[in-house]
Amino acid sequence: MNFSELRDAVYAITARPDLSNEVTHALLASTLKLHCANYWYRDLSSALLVNNTAATVQRFDLSDLPRYRALAYVRKYDPAAISVDNYDYLYPLPRDRDGGGLPGVSTTLAMISIIAPDDIFDQFGRERTDVAYVAGTSLNVRSSTAFNRVNIGWYERPNIGTAAANYTDYSSWIADEYPYAIVHDAVVTVLTSAGRAEEGNRYASLAVQQYEVLKLNNTTAVGF
């Protein structure tokens, strides 16, 4: 469903077309809520980030990524590396007992381990390599090799559109494929705010059922 169809569905259930603003805001809130309720593989996006100069320590600006929500993965990239078949290991990187890379193992295309900022030091107090952490809108990467490019994957927030465009720019795969997960959740908000909490509770149960269907089919890309 597009946004207009979602709105009409809520009007039909609540019989309150007079609550246009409330319905609109409820639908937008429900859309954001459902997309952010899990790390859906359908919300994954990827891009190549490039800095000007190669170095072992790099900072990349995450605010450049559209509707950035959370980090998924980081992998170093080298255009001179024609094939990953040239490399013995990609991820996880093998380590010696002191936490260093094993000799002869290329890290040119290595996956970067994402860590907490306070986990940058190993047990011997040395700074770890081939790791990254997020601070604010910055992705900070410390590498075992000089580099200036990373392939990054992140989870996007949905495009909830704009009032100026009358939400014709609204875009959500959940709305397209599981519209009643959004509709029933929004109905609960509208009915409750209209003083019809008992009816709202009934639709809350339906909203939970719709969410379970959504979760079953979209938590992983592989069925079972």
* Spans of all domains in the chain: 3-36+160-218, 42-156
User: Contact at 8 Å (CB) between 130 and 110?
Assistant: yes
Q: What angle do CA 129, 131, 134 make, to 5 degrees?
A: 140
The pLDDT assigned to 21 comes to 95
Backbone dihedral region for residue 72 (phi beyond 0: left; psi -120 to 50: alpha; all else: beta): alpha
Q: pLDDT digits over 101-123, tens only?
A: 443 346 778 889 999 998 988 88
Q: Token pair for residue 45?
A: 């996006």
The pLDDT assigned to 88 comes to 47
The pLDDT assigned to 109 comes to 80
Cα–Cα separations (whole angstroms), residue 203 to 10, 20, 182, 190, 197: 11, 19, 11, 11, 10
Print pLDDT tens along the chain (224 aa): 999 999 999 999 999 999 999 999 999 999 999 999 999 999 999 999 999 999 999 999 999 899 999 999 999 988 876 454 444 444 445 454 455 544 334 677 888 999 999 898 888 888 898 999 999 999 999 998 899 999 999 999 999 999 999 999 999 999 999 999 999 999 999 999 999 988 899 999 999 999 999 999 998 888 77
The pLDDT assigned to 106 comes to 61
Q: pLDDT digits over 130-164, tens only?
A: 999 999 999 999 998 899 999 999 999 999 999 99
The pLDDT assigned to 151 comes to 94
Q: How would you classify the pairing of strands 131-135 and 44-61?
A: unpaired
The pLDDT assigned to 104 comes to 37
Distance of alpha carbon 3 from alpha carbon 73, whole angstroms: 32
Instruction: Report the b/e string of 172-194 with b at 16+ CB within 10 A.
Output: bebbeebbbbbbbbbbbbbbbeb
Distance of alpha carbon 12 from alpha carbon 73, whole angstroms: 42
- Please choose, from the candidates 152, 129, 128, 127, the residue with its C-alpha nearest in 3D space to the C-alpha of residue 139: 152
The pLDDT assigned to 87 comes to 47
Give 90's DSSP letter. Answer: -
The pLDDT assigned to 75 comes to 92
Instruction: Look up the pTM and report it.
Output: 0.83
The pLDDT assigned to 49 comes to 94
